[in-house]
Structure 1
Amino acid sequence: MVAAVIVTAAVGLGILWLVVAPTGPEACALSMPGPRNCFPSDRVSAAQVGTALVAISAIVPVALALVVARAHPRAARTIARIGLVLTSVTAGYALFTSAWIPALAFARLI
């Protein structure tokens, strides 16, 4: 289960940096200034924050599950399952907010 968390984080970050950050959505309005998702620099800044959030959401449950595994194996599996869900949701949110940068994107928190 811990491996699933790591793979989910790696796939999410790979998609984030190989697909979303450099290209993002192709449809941009013909207006000046253009919307925020038309500028690669805005997508990259959102991707940096998303990378940190995905990494934290994967590292914390994995480390906690590995520490707890000796004493309480069932608790470690539960922590890993929660970590898998948390990492999946965080990776999905990071992909969405980096590509389309909606009004509530975490890129504004920088």
Structure 2
Amino acid sequence: MDTLLFDAKNCPIARIAKVIHGKWTMVIVYVLSEGTLRFSEIHRRLPHITEANLTKDLRTLEAHGIIHREVYPVVPPKVEYSLTEAGRELLPIFHELNSWADKYTQAPE
């Protein structure tokens, strides 16, 4: 009897896990659902993430087409982040995950 091997390359869940695997990636998407924000505004809303991790997660989300990074040619540099259509399509999924989490998990005391 042949054993089927898991094929992560062709598994949709494994592919999306590469995009939203970070501790903060889903939270960043949620924060950007408020609208276009600059790096400092995102960081202010997420004070526990390091600037290095925020930068890394923003780059990952941008590389996967979840967010858009707009660089304005001004001094000092101005960079804004916003959700792409693909990013906005994630929001209902995140709302469902939130509902599930509220139902099946409890916040630590």
Q: Same fold by TM-score, threshold 0.5 exceeded?
A: no
TM-score normalised according to structure 2 size: 0.27
Question: Which one has the bigger strand percentage?
Answer: 2
